[in-house]
Amino acid sequence: MLPTKKLASKLASLCLGAALLFGAGDATFAAPKKDFKLAWSIYVGWMPWQWAADNGIVKKWADKYGIKIDVVQFNDYVESINQYTAGAFDALTVTNMDTVAVPAVGGVDSTAVIVGDFSNGNDAVILKDKTDLAAIKGQKVNLVQFSVSHYLLDRALASIGLLEKDVTVVNTSDADMSAAFATPDVTAVTTWNPITSEILERKDAHNVFNSSQIPGEIMDLAVVNTKTLADNPDFGKALAGIWYETLSIMTAKTPAGEAARAAMGKASGTDLAGFESQLKTTRMFYTPADAVAFTKSATLPKTMKLVNDFLFAHGLLGDNAKNADVIGISFPDGSTIGDPGKIGLRFVTTYMDSAVTAQN
């Protein structure tokens, strides 16, 4: 996510200091909080959060638990992760891989309160004037370095027997990606929606590999600082209530549902048709039961092992990491991969399950 591995390592060190400063490593009990902040960035699977805030659903659930929740949009996805890691936010919309790569490496223990979806075509490798993935060899590829786009590129290259050394990665902010592709010098990008859809509107842009070819590997989560959540479980319950009420509205085949989808599309820079098109390439878990089944599946630990292996291979698990097991990840059945003494990401179903009771 940063221009060089050296800077990535530096960020991890800075984030560790920040995490300690803000108390992420403090095991003492903290008095319950009343004010919470969730950071989010534009992506089809995260658009419901702002709509819920704009339409009173966030307030409704916050009031139910006697708390306040501030939903804050970031135009730069990476910056939202950095701010969460530094302790400025209690919760974050983020992918599974990026949760490990930055907060976990920075010493912040996070819990996935909501497993919202997995990318099923939203993330793509796009070539200019070429229709075959093999043509990527020797090209410069613009992407958010060390993000899920980088992971997707790695998986795409492996699918045709290439290595990352066969291309040149150019770190580019997601906010600049579409404009970059419009320039003559940029011939290959890896990015996510809504940027993917915007770029693919060009006649010279071709989708040559996408996340539907690695289903379930790029997940979109709502995570909460684990210590904050332990001290304030009602925050997690409120987030789950907000999420599933909003999804029930937006998926309804009613005027209200259509209006919600249209508003989310407009907020993400498209329209109703564009937003619904993006939903088709997103495997949304519209019900708690659907999300819980995926989170408890036997494939999730295998996927996270692939993610940790990628991060280790790119030097993103810290300068002192001797293997891919330096960061631990735990699952609903109590099992872990990696170091059980240094858990950085926890998958639970507690709060998704709570949404069913809370809405009845």
Q: How confident is the model at residue 31 (pLDDT cuts 50, 70, 90)?
A: low
Q: How confident is the model at residue 355 (pLDDT cuts 50, 70, 90)?
A: confident
Q: Of the candidates 213, 248, 279, which is a domain's last residue?
A: 213
Who contacts 300 (Cβ-Cβ below 8 Å, separation ≥6)? 216, 294, 331, 347
Query: Token match 């902010």: residue?
Result: 173
- Based on the structure, what is the number of domains in the chain? 2
Q: Of the candidates 213, 248, 274, which is a domain's last residue?
A: 213
Q: Residue 140 sits in a domain of what CATH number?
A: 3.40.190.10
Answer yes or no: do 235 and 313 share one domain: yes
Answer yes or no: do 321 and 251 share one domain: yes
CB 107 within 8 Å of CB 25 = yes
Q: What is the pLDDT of residues 132-174, one digit of tens each?
A: 999 999 999 999 998 899 999 999 999 999 999 999 999 999 8
pLDDT at 325: 95
Answer yes or no: do 209 and 128 share one domain: yes
Domain of residue 302 covers 5-118+218-359
* pTM, to two decimals: 0.83
Query: Token match 């304030």: residue?
Result: 232
Tokens of 205: 């842009």
Q: What is the pLDDT of residues 89-117, one digit of tens each?
A: 999 999 999 999 999 999 999 999 999 99
Q: Is the pLDDT of residue 348 over 50?
A: yes
Who contacts 256 (Cβ-Cβ below 8 Å, separation ≥6)? 249
pLDDT at 357: 61
Answer yes or no: do 112 and 226 share one domain: yes
Q: What is the mean pLDDT of residues 309-315?
A: 94
Q: What is the mean pLDDT of residues 289-307?
A: 96
Answer yes or no: do 129 and 206 share one domain: yes
Supply the mean pLDDT for the chain: 90
Q: Of the candidates 151, 180, 213, which is a domain's last residue?
A: 213
pLDDT at 78: 87
pLDDT at 356: 67
Q: How confident is the model at residue 30 (pLDDT cuts 50, 70, 90)?
A: low
Answer yes or no: do 140 and 112 share one domain: no
Q: What is the pLDDT of residues 237-281, one digit of tens each?
A: 999 999 999 999 999 999 999 999 999 999 999 999 999 999 999
